[in-house]
Structure 1
Amino acid sequence: MPQIEVETEIYSDIHTCFDLARDIDVHKESLKHTGEIPIAGRTSGLIKLGEWVSWEALHFGIVQHLTSKITEFDRPNYFVDEMIFGAFKSYRNEHIFKQENGKTIMINKFDFESPYGIIGKLVNWLFLKKYMTKLLKIRNKMLKSTAEDIEVKKLRSKLRLSEFTKL
């Protein structure tokens, strides 16, 4: 079973990063190039333990449907989404968050298994693992950018407030 691990350093607080990673609207925006949209279950806002979402997207020129459920949840440190319906035989995506030296380390551990036995293993080796890694990195880049933009806005607000209080 292939495992992908992607680590992203984000200069923002752990709570902001955790909430952005489970925000359906942010997820949709981060993968808009695939036309990914939520079509059932939790279709906007922050997904929570026990909730599920069904997605529709275009991958490899084929409209795909996938439903995942939040099966573990420990805010702001960890959550897991697992496929309950879709093209994979199985998948489990662990989202791990650690606060270190003024930044958040976000780690995705994505384990998946393709259907079709040896043919699925060949597809994994030829291109699927690389494709999934690229999707995770695209998504994390957008999460990083959004979280850091929020952090800049917080700092600007604090600076304006401190200038105001000096008057």
Structure 2
Amino acid sequence: MPRFEITTVLPVPAQQVFEACLDVEAHTRSMAASSERAVAGTTHGHLTLGDTVTFRARHFGLTWRLTARITAYDPPRSFVDEQERGPFNRWRHAHSFEPDGTGGTVMTDVIDFAAPLGILGRIADRTVLGWYMARLIRRRNAYLADTLR
């Protein structure tokens, strides 16, 4: 199963970053390039343990829907969202937030995922999806860095 990790340092306290990462509207703004919208579940405000949200977005010229649930929640240290329904066989995104010692936060995203379609999915994971998904997370993190000051 493909896995990648991205670490981002943000100049604000962990509580502020934690809350921003659970804000549905902030998420959709950070994914504006793919026209992402929350269309079901918790569509506004902040997610918490057990909440679901369904996002609709365009990737690779197609419209996709993904429903995720917050399956772990330890404010302001970490939370996990996992796909309940959507295009992946598996999608698990663990978010962690640690103070950097200077008033900022070291945010770590660990994503485990797997495409459907057996061998074709494994080829897609390694040739396209790994770098594409990492680019989406980096774009979201850059948005957070620009807006959290």
Distance (Å, rounded) in 1 between the aligned partners of 2:66 and 2:15: 27
**What's the TM-score once normalised by structure 1's chain length?**
0.87
Distance (Å, rounded) in 1 between the aligned partners of 2:101 and 2:50: 32
> 1:39-50, aligned counterparts within 5 Å?
39-50=39-50
User: Number of residues paired by the alignment?
Assistant: 148
> 1:3-152, aligned counterparts within 5 Å?
3-102=3-102, 103-148=104-149
Deviation digits for residues 20-69 of structure 1 (CA, Å, limit 9, x no counterpart): 01100000000011000000000011100000000100000000000000
Aligned counterpart, 1:162: none
Distance (Å, rounded) in 2 between the aligned partners of 1:17 and 1:120: 33
The unaligned stretches of length 5 or more in structure 1 are: 149-167
Give the superposed CA RMSD. Answer: 0.6
User: Counterpart amino acid of 2:121?
Assistant: G
Deviation at 1:131, TM superposition (A): 0.2
Aligned counterpart, 1:158: none
The structure with the largest alpha-carbon Rg is: 1
Distance (Å, rounded) in 2 between the aligned partners of 1:92 and 1:128: 14
Distance (Å, rounded) in 2 between the aligned partners of 1:18 and 1:77: 7
SS at match of 1:48: coil
**Off by >6 Å, runs of 4+ in structure 1:** none
User: Counterpart amino acid of 1:53?
Assistant: V
Distance (Å, rounded) in 2 between the aligned partners of 1:136 and 1:4: 10
Deviation at 1:145, TM superposition (A): 1.5
Deviation at 1:100, TM superposition (A): 1.7
SS at match of 2:6: strand
**What's the TM-score once normalised by structure 2's chain length?**
0.98
The unaligned stretches of length 5 or more in structure 2 are: none
Deviation digits for residues 60-87 of structure 1 (CA, Å, limit 9, x no counterpart): 0000000000000000000000000000
Distance (Å, rounded) in 1 between the aligned partners of 2:142 and 2:45: 20
SS at match of 1:43: coil
Deviation digits for residues 113-166 of structure 1 (CA, Å, limit 9, x no counterpart): 111111101011111100000000000111122112xxxxxxxxxxxxxxxxxx
